[in-house]
């Protein structure tokens, strides 16, 4: 039976077994390892640790920039933030864990492209609390399954977010997202604006898609559609079909 790490990334499994130190790079992000454990992760799709700390009011931008300037070369930014009293050790660990799993989710995406590993590379943040590679892979798989259960059409994750013509019944959190849905910003871009993990934003966006609160992109055509005989009615352009599909998926998600 394969381990969760092997199912997500055979390379990550091998590196964990080797107790390797370095950086694993894929198209959507990077995982930094020390002795086979994940100590940091970053992805263009996920707000970084700085965004989460600053947006949460735990740290000012000046304080973050000063820490990077003074301790980045020593790869001890995390330790500097705690030792200088700008954040507590617990606050840093919680925010770092949230940022790590958020970025790892995108880095370990199934269509993440080729995997490369550079031995000996360390991140300037330094080690805060290492996470076993198997735990990181397991959490990435769990999150992917949750999104699939909420709304099984991932196109909504990266498309510019637009409110549906009528969006009644949105929760307070959803209304905050809809206020930023200008038809230009994608869900990850909105997550960066509000300073929340991108995965949390994707959860709300998929819930809104299932409830018909946001416009959803058309399903990508995996293969060209076969031509139907003239006597077979074609319902593909019927707007009621999209509505019925949305209702079906919403009901399945609630079971």
pLDDT digits (tens, 9 = 90+) for 106-162: 999 987 678 999 999 999 999 999 999 999 999 999 999 999 999 999 999 999 999
pLDDT over 90 (residue 170): no
Same domain as 133, residue 23: yes
The verdict on 132 and 212 lying in the same domain is no
Contacts 24+ apart (CB under 8 A), 218-227: 218/155, 219/153, 219/155, 220/155
Q: Within this chain, do residues 12 and 136 fall inside the same structural domain, yes or no?
A: yes
Average pLDDT across the chain, whole number: 86
On whether both 136 and 63 belong to a single domain, the answer is yes
Is there a domain that residue 13 lies in?
yes
Identify the domain boundary among 105, 140, 175: 140
Domain limits for position 189: 155-219+242-254
Minimum mean pLDDT range among 3-7, 136-140, 224-228: 224-228
**Is 10 in the same domain as 136?**
yes
Last residue of a domain, one of 110, 140, 170: 140
Instruction: Tell me, yes or no, whether 192 lies in a domain.
Output: yes
42 and 136 in a single domain? The answer is yes
pLDDT at residue number 58: 86
Query: At residue 226, does pLDDT exceed 70?
Result: no
158 backbone φψ class: left, alpha, beta (φ>0; ψ -120 to 50):
alpha
- Does 253 score more than 80 pLDDT? no
Collapse the DSSP code of 170 into the 3-class scheme (helix H, G, I; strand E, B; otherwise coil) and give the result: coil
| pLDDT tens digits for range 54-85 | 988 889 999 999 999 999 999 999 999 999 99
Question: Is 90 part of a structural domain of the chain?
Answer: yes
Q: Is residue 146 part of a domain?
A: no
Of 112, 140, 168, which one is at a domain's C-terminal end? 140
Asked if 68 and 136 sit in the same domain, the reply is yes
Closest CA relative to residue 196, chosen from 62, 44, 56, 64: 56
C-alpha separations of 191 from 213, 221, 228, 246 in Å: 18, 28, 43, 24
Q: Render pLDDT for 86-95 as a digit per residue (tens, 0 to 9).
A: 999 999 999 9
């Amino acid at each position: 039976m394969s381990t969760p790490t092997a199912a997500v990334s055979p390379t990550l499994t091998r590196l964990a077994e080797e107790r390797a130190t370095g950086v694993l790079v894929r198209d959507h992000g990077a995982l930094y390892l020390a002795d086979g454990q994940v100590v940091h992760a970053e992805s263009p799709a996920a707000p970084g640790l700085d965004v989460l700390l600053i947006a949460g009011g735990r740290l000012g931008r000046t304080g973050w920039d000063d820490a990077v300037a003074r301790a980045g070369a020593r790869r001890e930014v995390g330790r500097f933030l705690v030792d200088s009293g700008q954040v507590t050790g617990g606050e840093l660990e919680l925010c770092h864990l949230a940022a790590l799993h958020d970025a790892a989710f995108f880095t370990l995406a199934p269509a993440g492209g080729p995997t490369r590993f550079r031995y000996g590379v360390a991140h300037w943040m330094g080690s805060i609390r290492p996470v076993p590679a198997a735990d990181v892979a397991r959490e990435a798989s769990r999150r992917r399954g949750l999104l699939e259960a909420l709304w099984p059409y991932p196109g909504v994750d990266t498309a510019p977010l637009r409110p549906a013509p009528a969006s009644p019944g949105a929760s307070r959190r959803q209304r905050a997202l809809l206020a930023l849905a200008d038809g230009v910003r994608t869900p990850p871009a909105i997550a960066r604006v509000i300073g929340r993990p991108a995965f949390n934003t994707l959860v709300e966006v998929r819930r809104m898609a299932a409830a018909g609160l946001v416009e959803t992109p058309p399903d990508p055509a995996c293969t060209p559609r076969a031509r139907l005989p003239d006597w077979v009615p074609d319902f593909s352009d019927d707007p009621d079909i999209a509505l019925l599909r949305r209702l079906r998926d919403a009901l399945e998600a609630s079971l």
